[in-house]
Structure 1
């Protein structure tokens, strides 16, 4: 990537057009500007006037938010080696990209945002027809909030025959439109229908899985199910994001739009984060509800810390993540035992994994090794995924897959897309899953998945 500190939009366009004409090739140009503070969700809401797809990401544990609109570039891959293929496309794109930026903040400039399906070999259905198996976009306009500082990035493909004044007018008009921070009121549509998809058949599948685990087919398998909602009006995704932001602390909040369909959620589960080559991953497996009082909450937490089934499930995840991280990193540090990770409705067992990413390795290398973790697939990994592919009727699509972002300075973060919903106009599909081991009880696993529906169901107006 070619980096310069050109100060004005005129200089940016002049340099980009000159290079495009010299090479007779299109150029990716990225211009970063410091802007006055603006609420990211209001930015996202206002961006609907652009008529393009929108993207949103908020970190779980720091004051970092991105909201984007439009696609300057889309990266997609149907290949078996989809993570490597996306990385290759990104590298080729960055070789001749121009970045005009005096700030050098993470999440600014060229940023790829999107995700990957859980299983690219699972037969796809109409449910996920709007999303590719692997799909990341560089937003045309990207608002980034880092602490108290706000930035706007304009990303664009410049062609040799483009006209300077037309580009300048287009960019300035879009910027003015997007930065109009209007107050906005949100309303929640009423749920007309709430349908769990074949719950009894799902319980029978859990029973079948316990029998197969006893027979040695797999050690553990994660099974998911779906709930469908129908509303009396179209769902306002900005309103959903606001409700998630208000209620789901310690969670990544995300929304990815494709062809008018939105995948949105609030997940507590980090897959991996890389910043300045420092790597952080998370083992988050084992679940119990929050208590209604402080005493009950502490009692439930202690029960979780002592529960053999949940501890066993957690250790499955710890071992797998350790092996994956060690292949790409050095100085790996893992605590000996988990602690509690509290959310609004649930609490989980939590173990952080820290390391230093080796030179020559990328964030997507780690994502490829980590996905799917035992918390979302099972063990052994290959056998568990094949079991899900054969017996689970749900088309997971991006549910339980890696979603996130990375930038041109090798910063980035991916989370596991749980606690999520696929929303199109006045309909939504919610997803929930749980780990099944040999002594799992179908009714208890059903109740666990019901609890895990709660975060998304509540912000959509359900009980």
Structure 2
């Protein structure tokens, strides 16, 4: 392939620009050579600035085809943080008790010898810019057993072909190819060109139905007796000293006259819950969409942080009543005990890999749109290099 080939997109698609195109073409060609010599896949990528006004989730969701995987992750109140990816350059899936270790090892293997831009050359770029693994993991080692979860592995991480990251008034576009030596460079570049052409930087998130309940039917997936029995069994085991705390979830099913699309749901969630972690994980078969105030773990170098979140009360539109509900929650012995159980477990777990672990002396209130929680921030100085997936394996589930 001639190195002058241009990875471009006619309007309205995104573009790498001439310099980044040359870098990407050169890296793809070099990655193919290395993959043939080493007999294993090699990663090639480039990262370029894009306009900070781009709605990265809307851009990705509009471009998503029926056979695409995509991932959107936002926390608007965290300096406008947003990360979205589409396409599959590489995928790691694992199940069982060793799934985190297996996935971490696979990610490290691909990182070895990767051809990508040096972070130091672009100090203003968002921390999430560059080649990035996107995905998640189930509560159970073997994953969900119902048909709805069949296309989501117990642990699945995807390296997207195209990723967009935004934070603090800066945004970056990253294109990634993982080659095994058998594919021609021209085919790799063409695939990236097609993907970029579909990404419209002017895309806006579609609006949701303002009153979806009026046209939908909501029903419990299981009869009330199922949940009542689960509560009774949990109480018995707590009284017997077998358990300290149990979290029960109730599944409901929404029957709507039209298909429920991920984009409008995610748009509504990030507008209503800007302090939460809002996400939409999509496979060709299903989309998993939600908003959670809970941080499992964040690692920056040798520092790790998390939050013990337990104890919940409702909100009120009346500020005085809302404050009173919060004061009651802070004074609640039951909720404080729940909070302490979670905080103690996290501290014990992190202490095994840390020089020190520090938790706030008292929980604070974390308020979101409809509820308020007790939250205890926890920080740790890691004793030795520990990967984020390794920390997740230790802490999951809290």
TM-score in terms of structure 2 length: 0.86
Tell me if the contact between 2:43 and 2:177 (Cα under 8 Å) persists in the aligned partners. Answer: yes
Residue aligning to 1:130: 151
Output one character per residue of 1:51-79: Cα deviation in whole Å (capped at 9) or x when no partner. 41110111363421111111111111123
Deviation at 1:186, TM superposition (A): 2.7
SS in structure 1 at match of 2:29: helix
More RCO (CA 8 Å, sep 6+): 1
- The answer as to 2:40 corresponding to 1:32 is no
In structure 2, the CA distance between the partners of 1:95 and 1:211, relative to structure 1 (3 Å rule), is same
Output one character per residue of 1:126-147: Cα deviation in whole Å (capped at 9) or x when no partner. 2311111111111111011021
Number of residue equivalences: 368
Deviation at 1:251, TM superposition (A): 0.4
Residue aligning to 2:249: 224
Q: Please give the alpha-carbon distance, in whole angstroms, between the structure 2 residues aligned to 1:23 and 1:310.
A: 55
Which segments of 5 or more consecutive residues in structure 1 lack a partner in the other structure? 1-5, 374-463
SS in structure 2 at match of 1:220: coil
In structure 2, the CA distance between the partners of 1:32 and 1:200, relative to structure 1 (3 Å rule), is same
SS in structure 1 at match of 2:247: strand
Residue aligning to 1:194: 218
Deviation at 1:269, TM superposition (A): 0.6
Tell me if the contact between 2:207 and 2:264 (Cα under 8 Å) persists in the aligned partners. Answer: yes
Output one character per residue of 1:411-446: Cα deviation in whole Å (capped at 9) or x when no partner. xxxxxxxxxxxxxxxxxxxxxxxxxxxxxxxxxxxx
Deviation at 1:331, TM superposition (A): 3.3
Q: Please give the alpha-carbon distance, in whole angstroms, between the structure 2 residues aligned to 1:9 and 1:133.
A: 37
Equivalences for residues 61-140 of structure 1 within 5 A: 61-101=78-118, 102-103=121-122, 105=125, 106-121=127-142, 124-140=145-161
Residue aligning to 1:237: 262
In structure 2, the CA distance between the partners of 1:223 and 1:181, relative to structure 1 (3 Å rule), is same
Return 280-289 or 46-55, whichever deviates more: 46-55
Return 360-369 or 120-129, whichever deviates more: 120-129
Q: Please give the alpha-carbon distance, in whole angstroms, between the structure 2 residues aligned to 1:263 and 1:123.
A: 13
Tell me if the contact between 2:143 and 2:154 (Cα under 8 Å) persists in the aligned partners. Answer: no
SS in structure 1 at match of 2:360: coil
Q: Please give the alpha-carbon distance, in whole angstroms, between the structure 1 residues aligned to 2:96 and 2:289.
A: 25
In structure 2, the CA distance between the partners of 1:216 and 1:52, relative to structure 1 (3 Å rule), is same
SS in structure 2 at match of 1:194: strand
Q: Please give the alpha-carbon distance, in whole angstroms, between the structure 1 residues aligned to 2:113 and 2:302.
A: 23
Q: Please give the alpha-carbon distance, in whole angstroms, between the structure 2 residues aligned to 1:247 and 1:283.
A: 23
Tell me if the contact between 2:46 and 2:176 (Cα under 8 Å) persists in the aligned partners. Answer: yes
Residue of 311, 323, 327 corresponding to 2:336 = 311
Deviation at 1:259, TM superposition (A): 3.0
In structure 2, the CA distance between the partners of 1:62 and 1:127, relative to structure 1 (3 Å rule), is same
Tell me if the contact between 2:93 and 2:103 (Cα under 8 Å) persists in the aligned partners. Answer: yes
Residue aligning to 1:145: 166
Q: Please give the alpha-carbon distance, in whole angstroms, between the structure 1 residues aligned to 2:365 and 2:208.
A: 35
Deviation at 1:23, TM superposition (A): 4.8
SS in structure 2 at match of 1:279: strand
In structure 2, the CA distance between the partners of 1:161 and 1:203, relative to structure 1 (3 Å rule), is closer
Deviation at 1:271, TM superposition (A): 0.9
Return 113-122 or 186-195, whichever deviates more: 186-195
In structure 2, the CA distance between the partners of 1:67 and 1:92, relative to structure 1 (3 Å rule), is same
Q: Please give the alpha-carbon distance, in whole angstroms, between the structure 2 residues aligned to 1:248 and 1:52.
A: 27
Equivalences for residues 162-177 of structure 1 within 5 A: 162-177=183-198
TM-score in terms of structure 1 length: 0.74
Residue of 236, 240, 245 corresponding to 1:211 = 236
Deviation at 1:300, TM superposition (A): 0.6
Output one character per residue of 1:195-219: Cα deviation in whole Å (capped at 9) or x when no partner. 0131232123212321232233323
Residue of 26, 32, 38 corresponding to 1:20 = 32
- The answer as to 2:386 corresponding to 1:356 is no
Output one character per residue of 1:312-334: Cα deviation in whole Å (capped at 9) or x when no partner. 00000110011112122223221
Q: Please give the alpha-carbon distance, in whole angstroms, between the structure 1 residues aligned to 2:31 and 2:137.
A: 34
Deviation at 1:183, TM superposition (A): 4.6
In structure 2, the CA distance between the partners of 1:230 and 1:109, relative to structure 1 (3 Å rule), is same
Q: Please give the alpha-carbon distance, in whole angstroms, between the structure 2 residues aligned to 1:183 and 1:57.
A: 16
Tell me if the contact between 2:302 and 2:381 (Cα under 8 Å) persists in the aligned partners. Answer: yes
